[in-house]
Amino acid sequence: MSEKKAVVLATLDSKPDEAKYVCSVLERAGVIPYLCDLSLRPHDIEGAVSNGNDFAQAAGSSWKELAEMDRNQASEFMVKGASIILKKWLEKNKFSGIMGLGGANGTSMSCAIMRSLPTLMPKVMVSAVAATGAVQWYVAESNIAMFPSIGDFTLNRITRGVLNNAGRALAGMVMVHETTDKAPDDASPLIGISSFGGTAGCVNRLTETLMNLGYEVIHFHASGPGGKALESLARQKDLSAVLDITTHEITDYLVEGVYSAGESRFTAAIEVGLPQIVVPGAIDHSNFWVNQVPDKYSDREFFQYNAQNILMRTNSEEFEAIGNLMADRLNQSKAEFVILIPTLGFSEHTTRKTYDLEGNECGFWFKPEVDKVFATALKKRLKKGRIVELDLHINDSEFADNCLSFLLELLKK
């Protein structure tokens, strides 16, 4: 059996003992540790295979120059340089797992480096901020396993136990990890589908049919991290095609809702040339936390979905903006695509009524004249692809079957 190796990321100017302890845990578990020092300031502590100066130079700077920058700027250089060097190591199969330990800044740097590495590589982060809401940004579209350090980083019976558990967890994953994330040549094509409860009828029928046809399917829940994961796998060409049934995150992006997937949503398949089917699934609302709707939306129509989420009905201005954004991005597509528009409703919520923030009934969710604004804006601006409008609801079986037919047509080409 070939030797197994793992990278350990830490700032040796603040956590030297903890980093060396983790390395000893890995060694006892049969894994060779490569300790990498992410310190932003020069020091003479030994023990790292690569240090801040190596990473700074890889990013076009130096350790001394980083010391004169503010922390954010220096961190960006450190992440960039470390990512460059670790990717070069990977080309030589030099390691098959990675672990970081740190506070807020150390976690931010380590997780950013981990996110630049292959999707299925084992990744573990022991963090003093792992129990905070910031974890969604640290993990984002990746598969990082977060271990709360419980206490801040000093060695004692508690933190040793955490570091021991985390180190052994990584060692276990590394021992069985394949050296490549690439699927075998005879693997079934993997189709990415964006999903939501409000579009489940369409998504479930497509999934069942595709699997019966021999395809492999992965769902991406359209609540922010899911959209980021879709974009990441599409950009890495781990997907053969995209059924973007639930483009809901674009609405949240435009109104600053809590389910935004950020600026990069709806770009990867377009950039790398993956065939895709695009549907305005669940763009008829945006998401906010209950009792945290911004004041500027206080006069709008809502539906409280559960104890945490309140949905705001999309208006004409927002539908126009969504249509324009989709058209602008799809006009850059390197592959063929088809947009299917269900004119009888974009989500399951068409059967609901709307309410103001005081709970008073306003009217009906289904507003076909308002919804039409999306298609009008899209058709006016789109220069490529094909638009198909169907007098169906998004969750009608016939609508899903149309999505499948057009996808199979694109895949044949």
Chain segment 35-52, per-residue pLDDT in tens: 999 999 999 999 999 999
pLDDT of residue 179: 53
pLDDT tens readout for residues 60-96: 999 999 999 998 999 999 999 999 999 999 999 889 9
Q: Of the ranges 5-14, 105-114, 176-185, 217-226, which one carries the lowest mean pLDDT score?
A: 176-185
- What percent of the chain clears pLDDT 90, i.e. is strictly above it? 84
- What percent of the chain clears pLDDT 70, i.e. is strictly above it? 97
pTM (predicted TM-score): 0.76
Same domain for 116 and 145, yes or no, is: yes
Domain end point (choices 176, 205, 224): 176
Same domain for 301 and 248, yes or no, is: yes
SS3 percent helix, strand, coil of the chain, rounded to 5, is: 40, 20, 40
Q: Is the residue at 126 inside a domain? A: yes
Q: Is the residue at 183 inside a domain? A: no
Same domain for 145 and 199, yes or no, is: no
Same domain for 171 and 217, yes or no, is: no
Same domain for 244 and 382, yes or no, is: yes
Same domain for 23 and 117, yes or no, is: yes
pLDDT of residue 183: 53
Q: Is the residue at 181 inside a domain? A: no
Q: Is the residue at 244 inside a domain? A: yes
Q: Are 174 and 122 in contact (CB under 8 A)?
A: yes
Q: Is the residue at 184 inside a domain? A: no
Number of domains forming the structure of the chain: 2
Same domain for 148 and 265, yes or no, is: no
Same domain for 221 and 170, yes or no, is: no
pLDDT higher than threshold 80 for residue 181: no
pLDDT tens readout for residues 189-235: 999 999 999 999 999 999 999 999 999 999 999 999 899 989 989 99
Domain end point (choices 126, 143, 176): 176
**How confident is the model over 322-348, as a mean pLDDT?**
96
Same domain for 358 and 326, yes or no, is: yes
- What is 318-356 written as a DSSP string? HHHHHHHHHHHHHTT-SS-EEEEEETT-SSGGGGSEEE-
Domain end point (choices 128, 152, 176): 176
Same domain for 207 and 171, yes or no, is: no
Q: Where are the beta strands (DSSP E) in 47-97?
A: none
| Higher pLDDT pick, 119 / 390 | 390
CATH code: domain of residue 203: 3.40.50.12030
Q: Is the residue at 182 inside a domain? A: no
Shortest CA distance to 171 belongs to which of 35, 47, 24? 24
Q: Are strands 309-313 and 285-289 parallel, antiparallel or unpaired?
A: antiparallel
Cα diameter, the chain:
70
Same domain for 161 and 272, yes or no, is: no
Q: Is the residue at 219 inside a domain? A: yes
CATH code: domain of residue 155: 3.40.50.12020
Q: Which amino acid is at 408?
A: L
Cα gap 199→193, rounded to integer Å: 11
CA 197 from chain centre, in angstroms, equals 19
pLDDT of residue 184: 56
Same domain for 164 and 222, yes or no, is: no
Average confidence score pLDDT of the chain: 93
| Exposure class string for 271-289: b at 16+ Cβ within 10 A, else e | beebbbbbbbbbbbbbbbe
Q: Are 108 and 71 in contact (CB under 8 A)?
A: no
pLDDT tens readout for residues 342-400: 999 999 999 999 999 999 999 999 999 999 999 999 999 999 999 999 999 999 999 99
A 10 A CB-CB count for 388 gives: 12
Q: Which domain holds residue 373?
A: 190-412
